[in-house]
Amino acid sequence: MIAIVDYDMGNLKSVQKAFEAVGHRAAVTRDPKAIADASHVVLPGVGAFGDCMRNLERYGLVEPVTRAIAAGKPFLGICLGFQLLFGESEEFGTHRGLGVIPGKVVRFPSNGAPARLKVPHMGWNAIAIGKRPPVLEGVPDGAFMYFVHSYYVVPDDRAVACTMTDYGAPFVSSIARDNIFACQFHPEKSQQEGLRIIRNFGGLS
């Protein structure tokens, strides 16, 4: 069973339906035991970074999530669930993240060089694949994925980056390390290639 972590932030049902569409069983849950018993764990998220961290703490989910990662379970972070893996975010002040991946989350410049950017970055954009973990197997370089975000991650160790996306300048749009794959884009909203990522993740052991 794939556990989709429910902390009142995000499009949980669409993530669940994406897994079911490719033949994987998935349950939306905030039960620590269900997360501990799951074969795979997914941390989605839409909203403000600080609010999301407060909700994870409020529902007692920080420890179950970090334990699942430490136990080596296949782990997928999506959008804000990707950003929460990092040490801190500058969204509406400075907020502490889960600290699983060293680095920070910063805002796109809305009127800076090299281009005047519309923020949030919203819509379809291409991913340039720099390294290909199993989750990206069969996904073509340059595939278009769906993004909605105003902030992006800056890992301390750029070796964790899998894909880059250009929005005024290149930014890290997905990372992989050990059992973790996490992405800024929404695979559940990214049609065929996004569903390929969902299918590949669900097939990991």
The single-letter code of the amino acid at 129 is I
Catalytic annotation present for 40: no
> Nearest 5°: CA angle at 66, between 87 and 193?
80
Backbone angles phi, psi at 175, to 5 degrees: -135, 160
Q: Is 90 designated active site?
A: no
- The residue type of 201 is F
User: Active site residue: 24, 95, 183, 188, which one?
Assistant: 188
Please pick, among 52, 79, 162, 183, the residue that the annotation labels catalytic.
79
Please enumerate in sequence order all residues whose Cβ is within 8 A of that of 84, keeping only pairs 6 or more positions apart, or say none. 43, 45, 49, 52, 53, 56, 77, 97, 98
Pairing of strands 101-107, 128-129: unpaired
Q: Is 188 a catalytic residue?
A: yes
Active site residues: 79, 186, 188
